[in-house]
Copies of this chain bind each other. A is one copy, B any other.
């Protein structure tokens, strides 16, 4: 999912998490959107997609690179104070990059409908039904106080699907250990231009563009 320029091809479609080798650091890059900015209309409008991808996500990428650069220097000097002082920026921008890179693949103009196969079975097993999972995840997502994300995640320890919410850009796996399968961004920039204050309408609409194939692929990868 998140790749470096240089030796590794730009690969917006793969699912590998960010791998970093601290000794030789390559920059993070903004992944291409797998579809046009207007492709998710009428559920998410083109203006939102363009700002969200080319401004918000791009800013996280740029600021992450700056932060990692500074972190590299502090690490090399063994300067713990500076490393600690950089943690909020790392979590915020790093989380922002991770979250949005996942998000773009979670959505598709050919999305919607219901999941199939193993994912569908897992959902029925862990939530009772697809409908119940949708309701539970929608409720948790709408209830986020301030900025944050709702997540469907995979708990490796129990082998179960779980619903979680994270504040701001806190990355799901880094903060809870759950492997992210499907995220719903409820920062106001994700919906306000179209839905204004009515977050529930946005969360209801987004199910029309969820890419269940991608969510299934993420579950397969998480189980390995």
Please, which residues of chain B bring their CB within 8 A of the CB of A189?
188, 192, 197
Copies in the complex: 2
- The residues in A between 48 and 87 inclusive whose CB is less than 8 angstroms from any CB of B are 51, 55-56, 59
CA distance A73 to B107 in the complex (A): 44
Task: Name the one of B51, B145, B167, B197 contacting A51, with C-beta atoms under 8 angstroms.
Answer: B197
Please, which residues of chain B bring their CB within 8 A of the CB of A196?
51, 55
Check if A168 is an interface residue, CB within 8 A of chain B.
yes
CA distance A148 to B146 in the complex (A): 8
CA distance A55 to B3 in the complex (A): 42
Chain A interface category by residue count: 20 to 34
Please, which residues of chain B bring their CB within 8 A of the CB of A88?
145
- The residues in A between 99 and 139 inclusive whose CB is less than 8 angstroms from any CB of B are none
Check if A5 is an interface residue, CB within 8 A of chain B.
no
CA distance A187 to B188 in the complex (A): 8
Scan A167-198; emit 1 where CB is below 8 A from any B CB, else 0. 11100000000000000000111001100110
A interface residues, Cβ below 8 angstroms from B = 51, 55-56, 59, 88, 92, 145-148, 167-169, 187-189, 192-193, 196-197
Apart from A56-B197, A145-B168, A146-B146, list 7 A-B contacts with CB within 8 A: A55-B197, A59-B197, A88-B145, A92-B145, A188-B188, A188-B189, A189-B192
